[in-house]
């Protein structure tokens, strides 16, 4: 087997860099279940705020059977026909999952409390 040349090593490294860049462009904060099989439950602290989400029995508001809380206050969500999610806080910025919508709301709130939507 011939020894690799500098040119072949550089071509291989370039190929790996392209592959790594493609993988890095994928949304790393979403699980495969969030994107394909429907949203799963989550509970995390994001930028100092506790966000939780869980499927609910039946249809809950417009959230298609899913509830999200930000520091214990309900974040009103709606699922779009294309499967994306929007919230009352970031209504014009569709997200891939309820978790992503909750994170976008936390960023938009910039530390302000979430006021219940009635």
Q: Tell me the three state secondary structure of residue 68.
A: strand
32-109 domain in CATH 3.40.640.10? no
pLDDT of 19 reads 47
pLDDT at 104 over 60: yes
Strands of 73-75's sheet in order across:
42-46, 49-55, 66-70, 73-75
pLDDT of 115 reads 85
pLDDT one-digit tens code per residue, 30-65: 444 444 456 889 999 999 999 999 998 755 455 568
Compute CA distances 64 → 40, 68, 82, 92, 110, whole Å.
13, 12, 13, 18, 27
pLDDT one-digit tens code per residue, 20-33: 454 444 444 444 44
Measuring CA to CA, which residue among 21, 17, 71 is closest to residue 46? 71
């Amino acid at each position: 087997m011939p020894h690799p040349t500098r040119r072949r090593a550089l071509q291989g490294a370039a190929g790996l860099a392209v592959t790594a860049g493609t993988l890095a462009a994928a949304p790393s904060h979403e699980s495969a279940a969030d994107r394909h099989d429907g949203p799963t439950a989550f509970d995390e602290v994001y930028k100092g705020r506790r966000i939780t989400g869980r499927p609910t029995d039946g249809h809950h508001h417009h959230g298609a059977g899913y509830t999200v809380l930000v520091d214990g206050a309900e974040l009103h969500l709606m699922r779009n026909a294309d499967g994306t999610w929007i919230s009352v806080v970031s209504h014009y910025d569709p997200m891939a999952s309820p978790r992503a919508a909750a994170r976008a709301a936390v960023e938009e709130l910039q530390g302000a409390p979430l006021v219940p939507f009635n």
